[in-house]
Chain A
């Protein structure tokens, strides 16, 4: 069965960096676009970033552009999120989600499987 397991969260000071990982199993990882989505405590969902199945195309939410970098290692079936210059407002549970297979455009943005998430707390 499809499994997505995030790791790497923790407590970090403002301005510092953190790298999240998402280990995928149960499907052909290299065929799917992958996303990061976050949810601040008591708040709604916020889409963070997408990476195409081959890693060629990456898109980011304006709130993280220039600070966060999404990447993937298809040989390790792992998705990453490098978070630099962290801010208090980045505090959230970060989840990875699977998008479409060999997709393009809007069809890449339906999330059919989600991980349970990892908590990132930015605090001084």
Chain B
């Protein structure tokens, strides 16, 4: 199972919106509404920020939103804040009943 494709890095200024894409195949992203997104700050526990494509866990800011079109899922962060600077990973359920992650995207807040 090949890793999902994410951009290696994205950047934005405070207050702006950014979108991180996550591209897979019809055997994973395109075939199921089970895409999740995780935020990873250095040295801190990973945090689930989006699950089931577009659902937000309790306590996660509504500045984070998820969507999907075909084989590509997207994470959008609006009203960018300095604390959003982190690594972001997407994950998708697969037709083999396994999970595949994306390669990760480093978000820089300028």
User: Chain A: residues with CB nearer than 8 A to chain B?
Assistant: 35, 44-47, 50, 59-62, 95, 97, 105-107, 109-116
**Complex-state Cα separation, A79 to B97, whole angstroms:** 20
Residues of B contacting A: mostly: loop
- Which of the segments B13-21, B32-40, B67-75, B76-84 contacts the partner chain? B32-40
| Distance in Å: Cβ of B75 to nearest Cβ of chain A | 14
| Distance in Å: Cβ of A107 to nearest Cβ of chain B | 7
Contacts of A59 in B (CB 8 A): 96-98
Contact partner of A44 among B51, B98, B99, B102, CB < 8 A?
B102
Contacts of B33 in A (CB 8 A): 106
| Most chain B beta-carbon contacts within 10 A, residue among A35, A44, A61 | A44
Given A44-B89, A105-B93, residue A110 in contact with residue B51 (CB < 8 A): yes
Contact B104 A45 (CB under 8 A): yes
